[in-house]
Amino acid sequence: MHHPFRTLSLAAWLLCVLLGATARAGFVTNGGFEDPAVVGRFQTFSSGETLSGWQVGPGGVDVVHQAWQAAAGTQSVDLSATDAGSISQLLALTPGQTYDLAFWLAGNPQGGPALREMEVFWAGGSLGVFAFDATGRTPTAMGWQAHRLTGLSAPAGAVELRFTSLTRSAFGPTLDGVSVVASAVPEPPGSALLGLGSVLAWLGLGRRPRAVG
């Protein structure tokens, strides 16, 4: 007996698989710094403390809630609590695989200097220094800048991702929306739709009703 509901359910499942083939899981814990939820304007985390997936130090950081707008969600991090601070996280990645790192950068608008600098490290090596000019920025107009670094290799063992403030003041670079995903494997345009057409043809969903006579 033909079961159209089962056939359609299988087709829907295969459609989700095909269209979601390029979806990539993230590897960073608490990349938006929403945990723990801060009560009030901000909360300081000192060197040696943990921040829901992140290790703090050297130097302290502030998790900011109400002091300014986050890039996403309601919280972000000032990498300079009273002086230059840093946070790091160990990522369980596949050796030999390449990954893409993305994050949002701005600067604490409540004091100087104007130029805020942050250095990013991957597996012990520097990915570069990223600068943000906070001139004219306000708590409601932070001017968050998106950064994306692609094709980062994963060596054997856990990979340390580290963000370090180079601003020696209590008004440092601000960070939000950190993510690491596996680099996408290029595929021909429309290949997913072509695959879907093949699946639907195989299931016989495109066949016309038989003539009765």
What is the token pair recorded at 63?
A: 């998790």
pLDDT at 98: 98
pLDDT at 112: 87
pLDDT at 90: 98
- For residue 209, whether the previous peptide bond is cis, meaning omega lies within 30 degrees of 0, is no
pLDDT at 190: 57
* HSE of 130, CA atoms in CB hemisphere, 13 A: 26
pLDDT at 185: 75
**In angstroms, what CA-CA distances link 170 with 20, 23, 40, 108, 191?**
44, 39, 18, 9, 51
What is the token pair recorded at 169?
A: 């003041």
What is the token pair recorded at 29?
A: 């814990």
pLDDT at 186: 65
pLDDT at 6: 43
Q: What is the pLDDT of residues 32-63, one digit of tens each?
A: 999 999 999 999 999 999 999 999 999 999 99
pLDDT at 10: 40
The parts of the chain modelled with pLDDT lower than 70 are 1-25, 186-213
Q: Domains in the chain, please, with CATH?
A: 25-184 (2.60.120.260)
